[in-house]
Structure 1
Amino acid sequence: MMNIVLLEPEMPSNTGNIGRTCAATNTRLHLIEPLGFKLNEKALKRAGLDYWDKLDVQVYSDYQDFLDKNPDAAGNMYFATTKAHKVYSEVKYSSDCYLMFGKESAGIPEEILVQHEDHCVRIPMWGDIRSLNLSNSAAIVLYEALRQNGFEKMERNGRLHHLQWKDEA
């Protein structure tokens, strides 16, 4: 199972959107406090729609609490940052990796990034754009990791329902 880790997320709508993406991909969502919202806020539930109850979500008091409770994240975590030297599509993701994203206003603290520089990844952007929306960034990196693992156990085929149109001439 893939893992999305949000370090101190601030906006309930972004976390709700990411939660919906996690539910749609059977990805566990890890939330590291402090959160900029309450988990029962309407904006969070509205963005996650009716999928929030299908979500595997874990909450941690701080970064160290997360590390203590997820020892398998060591060496198996990628840190999304505009400061990375590698593009997100240039690394090989395991089927149980952790993808960390920082808070909307500041990203992942530099002291964490420096400790894991080889596992930092970025999404290329044009010009002087500072960053993408957090929920968009999470979806982009997650779907690359899922693609690399063959979209394991995910529905890959859609079905069109052919409608019969009457010609009322």
Structure 2
Amino acid sequence: MTNHIVLYQPEIPQNTGNIARTCVGTGAILDIIKPMKFEINDHNVKRAGLDYWDKLQLVFHDSLEDFMATVQDRDRLHLITKFADTTYSDRDLSATDGEQYFMFGKETTGLPEPFLREYADRCLRIPMTDGIRALNLSNCAALVIYEALRQQNFAGLERVHAYPHDKLK
């Protein structure tokens, strides 16, 4: 299974940098749908992603339509939005073949409403109180990708990491 984290017109460089680092750590591909409010060479993006940029699988799309043309199986597209009835952990994300996409909207306005309505059956929600507009984008991406990986039995991930004994002394 190839998991993708998809960012629709990201606005905050630090979020994108954090998500890039999460993608490297989980083996996910980062898809970015333009336009963006910053450049990938922006100091804050590089700082948040640390020195992992050369390990990141990054794909740019010029528009939402261009991105959608690359999605072969729309049943594997998951739109993360607070305007959903289904909780992300209640969706079966355990498929171990093909590609799976987790799409997140702009930090300020989310995904376009007409797009959400067209794919209403693909929308997933992260539960939260009504005391905030939204959770942090990079936190949401981490929650969702790790739920998918949990359901996939953390395929391809190192479950135990042993340090050399001499480094523990």
TM-score (norm 2): 0.91
Q: Aligned AA for 1:86?
A: T
Matches within 5 A, 1:18-33: 18-33=19-34
2:107 aligned to which of 100, 104, 108: 104
Distance in 1 (CA, whole Å) between partners of 2:131 and 2:156 is: 39
Hey, what's the Cα distance between the residues in 2 that align with 1:163 and 1:115? 54
8 Å CA contact 1:67–1:73 kept in 2: the answer is: no
Partner of 1:167: none
Asked if the contact 1:4/1:29 (under 8 Å) is kept, the reply is yes
1:72 aligns with 2:75: no
Farther off after superposition, 70-79 or 28-37? 70-79
- Partner residue of 2:56? 55
What's 1:153 paired with?
156
Whole-angstrom distance in 2 between the partners of 1:58 and 1:153: 21
Q: Is there any run of 5+ residues in structure 2 with no aligned partner, and where?
A: none
Larger radius of gyration: 1
Secondary structure in structure 2 of the residue aligned to 1:2: strand
- Structure 1 residue 130: deviation in Å? 1.3
Query: Which residue number corresponds to residue 130 of structure 1?
Result: 133
Alpha-carbon spacing, 1:64–1:163, altered in 2? closer, same or farther (3 Å): closer
Aligned residues: 163
* 1:46-68, Cα deviation, whole Å (9 max, x unpaired): 00000111000000110011112
- CA drift at 1:119: 1.1
Q: Secondary structure at 1:35's aligned position in 2? A: coil
Report the 3-state secondary structure (helix = DSSP H, G, I; strand = E; otherwise coil) of the residue aligned with 1:47: helix
Aligned to 1:71, the other structure's residue is in SS state: coil
Instruction: Provide the residue aligned with 2:91 in structure 1.
Output: 91
Q: Which runs of 5+ in 1 are unaligned?
A: 165-169
> Aligned partner of 2:138: which letter?
S
Separation of aligned partners in 2, 1:73 and 1:58:
18
Tell me the TM-score normalized by structure 1: 0.91
| Counterpart AA for 2:40 | L
Paired amino acid for 2:128: M
Superposition deviation, residue 88 in structure 1: 0.5
Does 2:118 correspond to 1:115?
A: yes
1:142 and 2:145 equivalent? yes
Per the TM alignment, residue 158 of structure 1 is displaced from its structure 2 partner at its CA by 2.7
1:65 and 1:108 mapped to 2: Cα distance? 15
Determine the C-alpha separation between the residues in 1 that align with 2:141 and 2:73: 17
Cα separation, 2, equivalents of 1:72 and 1:130: 32
Q: Distance in 2 between matches of 1:82 and 1:73?
A: 23
Q: Secondary structure at the match of 2:75?
A: coil
